[in-house]
Structure 1
Amino acid sequence: MTRSWNLAIPFGLCGVVLGAGLFLSGSPGAAAAVLLLFGLLAAMNSPLVFPRSIGAVEARRRSAVDGRPVVYWRPGCTYCLRLRLRLGRGARSLHWVDIWRDPEGAAEVRAANGGNETVPTVVVAGQPHTNPDPAWVRGQISASG
């Protein structure tokens, strides 16, 4: 499954263009700050922050075997980023499904949220939980491990 760079690349390119413009106009400090800001935005919206996504079918299969939760997410979602960052290293033990890359995952999220693609949606033991507290999700990781 390919990884989505749809948001990271424009942030990076905008940072380079604005930074170059500021640098050429004689403001190297401002250029560095702009590059740093847009680089951070690009990194936060890149798939590098999230564990590699798998398909919804494979995630359900793996979850049935190991009992670990499935997280449905999409790039650019601030709530997904918040969940990912607050889970820390524990996020790697979850099964992540990018709904922009997996139509079946998007359909599952819509079914769980009244037709809306509200993410993150975390499925634990077949029960969907929309935008749950990261501490609760951490507890589910501990319970399944």
Structure 2
Amino acid sequence: MARLVSAIRCGIAAAGALALASRLPAQANPIDCSQAFSTVELSVCTRANLERKDVQLKQAMQAVARDAAEMPGGTFLPIWTDSLTGFFNTTTDPLKQFEAFKAARATACVYMNSLALQGTGFGIFVANCEIKLTDVLLEKLGN
């Protein structure tokens, strides 16, 4: 449970920092998986959508780091850095933040799958959950 809380805290840290981003990439259009003819096709399609979202999220996190570094007067950067490194025990490195968010997201989605008592379609459920959590974060960024 402590591990889940730690992972969620990392995700919250990333979300808080990302909410301050002003320059973000255009949102990638999702691939339509409704025409999949099998579970395998649906799984592959869903995974492809998640990978596209991850690219978009990584770019957004890099934009946050750029914005923080370019902030005049140095006010934003120390607050952001202190929050991430102190309270959330993470880093200001956007690639490490991205990996921490992915780990927290996966942990939360696997846990949600167990709460929903989903037996079949585990990978599809988890990937769709991860897409939705990423969408929430990207929406907060104005994407």
TM-score normalised to structure 1 length: 0.29
Q: Tell which has more relative contact order, 1 or 2 (C-alpha 8 A, sep 6+).
A: 2
Of the two, which has the highest radius of gyration?
Answer: 1
Structure (1/2) with the larger helix percentage: 2
